[in-house]
Structure 1
Amino acid sequence: MTKRVKVEPLTSEAFAPYGDVMEASGAADKMINQGKCGRYHDRAQLDFSDGKAGISIFQGEVETLPLTLELVERHPQGSQAFVPMSNDPFLVVVAQDDNGTPIHPRAFVTKAGQAINFHRGTWHGVLAPLHAPGLFAVVDRIGQGANLEEHWFEDPYTIEE
């Protein structure tokens, strides 16, 4: 039997158990730069056990739906933020943790202008841009020690619209 996961729109409320949605929504927290720029302040909870925050550039292969979900991963020593460098939606897959095992995956599609931050230890799918160029700025922990756990599903899921 094929396990299926339907994609849903990304909202702050639905994504809250897994991380933060970063977007310029609502009124700006303050106006800066001679009143010409709205600042939406501190939109992600960066959380690192040690080390430092670093900004890297990732370029992922474009994916299409339906998509087979075989693997999720997590980073036990730090949060991980993905900020698209284009105005295109991307796929975000997360799963609940049950004593070290990911369960009940959910799939979200961002809208233009949204970025996400996975909380430390959140099971998530790999980078899945839906449009080229698939370029992202990624803010995560830079430091010593392993910060990656992978889980391969015995029975893969199909993510579909």
Structure 2
Amino acid sequence: MISPRPLTAEAFRPFGDVLEATGEPDRLINQGLCGRFHDRARLNFGNGRAGVSIFHAVPRSLPYQLDMVERHPEGSQAFVPMTQAPFLVVVAEGAGAAPGPVHAFVTAPGQAINFLRGTWHGVLTPLHAPGLFAVIDRIGEDANLEEHWFETPMMIG
């Protein structure tokens, strides 16, 4: 069984970015009433364009059975929760034809994530209702989804 750990920027860096407002803002804007935490994600849309979609996912619970991961070879993908509820983030090492070792994280309130282009990851997995997210990813003509189904599902708990 894979035990999910708290999501930190350092642990997640090989797979993407943790988007959160920590520390002091990079600058104050809007007459000094808004802190801007500037340029926090390594977005990459290849030959496509950035799009913002809204996803409404069914909440899951732990332990969670992981039977498939996916990746987007043509662009990054950011999941931005529209609530303060935590969600499960599953990633796998490796950029080859099949994913490598799997890692799992649970977000804290106020955290969002951005998967780097080509990163193997689990599907959007909210742990509480409503599973409402803004998703920023590549919109384009080329196929941008590869799935890998595990012969033996893994338990995350």
Match of 2:70 in 1: 73
Kept after mapping to 1: 8 A contact 2:95/2:118: no
Residue type matched to 1:97 in 2? G
SS at match of 1:24: coil
Unaligned 5+ segments in structure 2 are none
After TM superposition, the score normalised by the length of structure 1 is 0.96
Paired position in structure 1 for 2:127: 130
Q: Is the 8 A contact 2:69 2:123 kept in 1?
A: yes
What residue in structure 2 maps to residue 26 of structure 1?
A: 23
1:5 partner SS:
coil
Question: What residue is the counterpart of 2:55 in the other structure?
Answer: 58
Deviations 1:107-161 (A, max 9, x none): 000000000000000000000001111000000000001100000000110001x
Q: Distance in 2 between matches of 1:31 and 1:145?
A: 39
How is 1:1-161 mapped onto 2 (pairs within 5 angstroms)?
4-97=1-94, 99-160=96-157
Partner SS state of residue 99, structure 2: strand
Structure 1 residue 25: deviation in Å? 0.3
Distance (whole Å) between structure 2 residues aligned to residue 91 and residue 99 of structure 1: 24
After superposition, the Cα gap between the structure-2 partners of 1:40 and 1:5, relative to the gap in structure 1 and judged at 3 Å, is same
Report the structure, 1 or 2, having the larger strand content. Answer: 1
Superposition deviation, residue 98 in structure 1:
5.6
Mapped partners of 1:45, 1:31: distance in 2 = 22
* In 2: Cα distance, 1:54 partner to 1:99 partner: 26
User: Aligned letter for 2:109?
Assistant: A
Q: Equivalents in 2 of 1:51, 1:124: separation in Å?
A: 21
Range moving further from structure 2, 62-71 or 93-102: 93-102
Structure 1 stretches lacking a partner, 5+ long? none
Matches of 2:72 and 2:96 in 1, distance apart?
A: 15
Q: What secondary structure sits across from 1:14 in the alignment?
A: helix
SS at match of 2:100: strand
Deviation, structure 1 residue 51:
1.2
Alpha-carbon separation, structure 1, partners of 2:100 and 2:154: 11
Residues 48, 68 of structure 1: CA spacing in aligned structure 2 closer, same or farther, 3 A cutoff? same
- How far apart are 1:99 and its partner, in Å? 2.5
